[in-house]
Structures are given as C-alpha cells and as structure tokens.
Chains A and B, each alone.
Chain A
Amino acid sequence: MVRLFNALGAPLLAFFQYLGELVLLTTDTFRSIFTHNLRWKLFLNQIVEVGLLSQLVVVITGGFTGAVFSAQTFFQFNKLGMGSAVGAVVSVALCRELAPVLTALMVAGRVGAAMSAEIGTMKVTEQIDALRALAVYPVDYLVVPRALAMMLSMPLLVAECIAVGIAAGYFVAIFMLDINGTYYMANMVRWTRSRDIIMGLSKAFCFGILIVFISCHKGLTTREGAVGVGRATTEAVVNASLAVLICNFFLTMMFNIIYPAGYQ
C-alpha cells in the first residue's frame, strides 16, 4: 500500500511542484513588468523573433487550414444545399478555435523551442549565473521581454491567421468550388460576430502566456549540459502544446458563457 502511495504520490507531487514553479515565475514576471523598467531593445528583438519571423509559418498555417476547411465543409454542406453557408462556418471556426489553437501550436514549436533552448544553453554555460553575479535579475532580463513580446504578438498573429484563413477559404469556395460569392460573403458577415473575434484573440493572449512561461521555465531549470538542453527543449514544446490543447477546452467553455456562440 505504501508502495502504491509512493508510486502515485511522487509524480503527483512533482506535477504540483512544477505547477507551483510556473505560478511563481509568472507572478515574479508580472511583478517585474509593473515595478521595473522595460529593456526596450530586448523587447523589440523579441517582437522580431516572435512576431516578424513567425509570419511565414502563420500565413501558411492559416491559409491552408482555411482552404481545406472550406473545401471539406462544402463537400458536406453542398449535399444539403447549404453551400453558401460555408463562409460562415469557416469564419466562425477560424475565429473561435482553429486559428488560435493552430497558431499557438506552431508558435510553441517555433518560438517556445527557441526560447527554452536559448535560455537552457545560457543556464548550462553559466551565463545565467553570470547575469546574477553582475546584479542583473534573470527574470527581468530574460523572461519579461519575452513574455511581453509574446502577449503582444500572439493576438496579432492569430488575427493574421484568421484573415489569411478566411481569404484562402473564400478563394477556394468561389474560384474552385463555384459557390456564389455574394451569398458566401453575406452569410459570413451575418454569422460572424465581433465576440467571435474577441474570443479568438483572448484565447491567443492566454496561449501566449502559457507558451512563454512553460518555455522559459524549462530553460531556466535546464541541467546536465547539451543533453539537458535537448530534453528541456522537447519538454517545453510538448508541455506547451498539451497545455494549449487542454486549456483550449476550458477557455472555450468559459468564453462561451461570456460570448455565446451563434446568432442572437
């Protein structure tokens, strides 16, 4: 029995410790954001890293998701004579679910991995100890610029993903599937509400926070040299992706209370 409790208890304790450390890092970062001066150069560098350099990934993700979703929806809806409703479905789905989740997964893979690898390498080569020894608090220097850049960039990337997805869906529907463009647009505008967009952007903000803190935490707790950096990077991407998918469900349920789906 004791063995059973040990077997169950140790991973559970480790999990709660992990959550606790994430919360500590998050509170420490937000405290620093409000009480210390921002290093603008580092912040702008991170905006370039997170926002600008993710353009291609986000455009391709949004474009092909919108295109394939438009086609699949048409194949089903056309049997019911509802081909012109495709625009509304594509738009609402992209705003509320597809764009935030897929963008977050892509950013977790691209930016989250880079963050944990960079900070992890600094950790194992004593650069973080050097920062501390030079009286520079690593959270201020490393985490705050990344967190702010992510919180600002993620909603913009998701907005871009939605726009590109809708445009690609429109292109496929009108030029490849011969749906009437006027009805397509009319239905899309009628059924897509500002609350759908707000919901998508709010999710993007939350996912940005999840990705940046999970990645930075993994970087800051890296150990055991090059192997440790590799492990931290993998774990950062996996944990961030899982966190995005799990939190997405709860965010959907919560936001659906605040911003109910459908035409009202």
Chain B
Amino acid sequence: MEFWSNELKVESRELSVYDVAMIDEAPPSLKPSIKPRLASGTASPMIAVRALAKRIGQQEILRGIDLEVATGETLAIIGRSGGGKSVLLKHLVGLMEPDTGEIWIQGQNIIGMNERQLGMIRQKVGILFQGGALFDSMTVEENIAFPLHEAGERNPDILRAKVNEMLEVMEMEGQEDKMPESLSGGMKKRVGLARSIIRRPSCVLYDEPTSGLDPVVADSINRLIRRLQRRFGMTSVVVTHDMKSAFDVADRIVYLHEGRIYFNGTASQLQQSTDPLIQDFLLGRSEGRSD
C-alpha cells in the first residue's frame, strides 16, 4: 500500500446521547453466521472477509467483520451513516488496508498485495463510487472506454461499439460526447457503472448507488443492478441506507452497526425482525425514543 493511499476519508457522525444507550451486543438470533448460505451451494465464495478490523485515528470503524458473498449473489450492506459501510466496501478492492483480518477474492488473499498485484484483483471486481468519480477531463465516451483503452484496445470502431452497447444497457444513448459536468447525478452514476462493468468483472461493488437521486431515477438504478445480475451473472455488493433499494435488489441483507455485523439474513427475515434497533432503522425512527 502506497503512502498516498493511506490517508482516508471517513464519514463522520456526531454521537448523540442515544448512542450511549445503544445495545453493544446483538441478540443471538441476529448474530452473523460465519458461514452464510451460498447461492450455489458448493462453490467457493466470491468474497470472504475474516475478522476485519480498521481504526482511523481514534475511531474504531470496523470491529471484526466476518462475511462471505457467494458467486452470483447480490448482497446489500445497510446501516447508519458513519457505520463503516463504505470503508468495508473500499477494503474489498484493496483501496484501504485493514489493521487486522483477511479478505479473500476468488480464493486469493489480497492483504499484503502491493498496488500492482492488486491490479489483477481489480480487473475481477468493479466498483461504483458514490459520486460516480468520473474523470472530469474526459467525455462520457472516453470515461466508459477508459478501462478498455488502458487494457490495450486501440481500435476506435471496437471501442465505440462497446461504449454504445454500454450506453444502451444504461439507457443513455446519444450522451457519449457530453462532459461529466453537464450530467445529472443519476447519469453520472450510470456512466460510472458503465465504466466499471465494461470489462465484464465477476463482481461489482456499489457505494450508495441511489443516494441523492429522486425515486424514479433511484428505481432505474435498482432495475439496472438487477438487469446486470441477470444479463451478466455478476456478483453484487450494494452499500446503501435506502431500504427500498436494499429490498429491491438484494438476495441477502447485512446490517452493519458500530463496525460489527448486527444482522445477516434475507429481506423477509429483516422485515420480520422485532429487534428494536432494526425496527428503528427500517422505520426511520431515532432509536425508538420520542422527544
């Protein structure tokens, strides 16, 4: 890991008086299972995380995460802002280095790999950043074609054909000459997603794919995630605090609370849960307390 990649951006959250009273340990029924069910049953997981811990400054962001994502599965990671969701996601592609723990991608432990070795892993795992993270000096077409161009593809006809195919999947035909600054938030996310998947990674990580979007655009992004899963069989990990998005796209939902996995199960199990913390989150209540 390089010196310039060590310093990190953390979502910070003011601690409220309610945080003091938060339950530290989840009830046994809600504790994460070390070996979650795998969609394929026998195949090795696409992603396996073991005892992952990360501290940034004085703040403990992740406190021993154990998680597996099966090949072809769509996992949603939900939780409150500042709960460590985005930090966990960035660890999965080696954009951040944990203090302790292991991360296995398709059977390869990525901890200790240098940036160049991680390049091989990153070709298998794409990531959609919260704001799209488009290169602002490039057009939409150049942004989408960037991974292919970097992989050595120089034929303009092939590049254009693949970009057009991606734009069609994203329902953004005719936008290829626009600059990122002239795109709306939803369009930026779709272009960012097109760029992430143009090389057909086995897995895509989505960091808040619907945040800041109106419900209609958010729904189009959710449909897109499902379509990609069906069309290309991609494994997906979606970090979100948009419950509609999580219920729409996920095969399994993990609730991250104070750096730990508090719940690990299906959408219906989550909805049926009577745990007050989960109920508060689902209903958008401030810890179930009234003023």
Contacts and interface: CB of A to CB of B under 8 A. Distances in A.
B17 interface: no
B120 interface: yes
Majority SS at the chain A contact face: helix
A220 B136 contact: no
Interface stretch (B121-129, B155-163, B167-175, B267-275): B121-129
Contacts of A139: 2
B135 interface: yes
Contacts of A28: 2
B7 interface: yes
* Best-surrounded residue of B126, B127, B133 (most CB of chain A within 10 A): B133
- Interface range on chain A (Cβ under 8 Å from partner): 20 to 34
B150 interface: yes
A208 B123 CA distance: 35
Interface in B110-159: 115-116, 118-120, 122-123, 126-127, 129-131, 133-136, 146-147, 150
B230 interface: no
A15 to B, nearest CB: 15
Contact of B135 (A130, A137, A221): A130
Contacts of A137: 115-116, 119
Contacts of A221: 3-4, 7
Contacts of A125: 131, 133, 136
B38 interface: no
Interface residues of B, number: 32
Interface centre among A24, A127, A138, A223 (most CB of B within 10 A): A127
B81 to A, nearest CB: 17
Contacts of B9: 223
Nearest to A22: B3
Contact of A133 (B2, B127, B134): B127
Given A221-B3, A223-B9, A134 B122 contact: yes
Contact of A135 (B134, B135, B150, B192): B150
Interface in B74-96: 90, 93-95
Contacts of B189: none
Contacts of B7: 221, 223
Contacts of B95: 129, 132-133
Contacts of B119: 135-137
A87 B273 CA distance: 90
A78 B136 CA distance: 58
Interface in A61-120: none
Contact of B146 (A126, A134, A220): A134
A21 interface: yes
Nearest to B124: A135
Nearest to A130: B133
Contact of B120 (A123, A135, A138): A135
Contacts of B123: 135
A123 B115 CA distance: 16
Contacts of B5: 132
Contacts of A129: 90, 95, 129, 133
B163 to A, nearest CB: 15
Contacts of B127: 133
Contact of B150 (A24, A127, A136): A136
A134 to B, nearest CB: 5
Nearest to A21: B3
Given A130-B129, A134-B147, A220 B135 contact: no
B32 to A, nearest CB: 26
A55 to B, nearest CB: 23
Given A125-B133, A129-B133, A135-B150, A220 B4 contact: yes
Nearest to A141: B150
25 contacts: A24-B2, A25-B3, A28-B2, A122-B135, A125-B133, A125-B136, A126-B131, A127-B133, A130-B129, A130-B192, A132-B95, A132-B115, A132-B118, A133-B95, A133-B122, A134-B150, A135-B118, A135-B147, A135-B150, A136-B119, A137-B115, A138-B4, A220-B4, A221-B7, A223-B7
Interface of A: 21, 24-25, 28, 122-123, 125-127, 129-130, 132-139, 217, 220-221, 223
Interface of B: 2-5, 7, 9, 90, 93-95, 115-116, 118-120, 122-123, 126-127, 129-131, 133-136, 146-147, 150, 192, 195-196
Nearest 7 A-B pairs (CB), nearest first? A220-B4, A130-B133, A135-B119, A126-B133, A135-B122, A133-B127, A21-B3
Given A126-B133, A133-B129, A134-B147, 4 more contacts: A125-B131, A133-B196, A136-B119, A223-B9
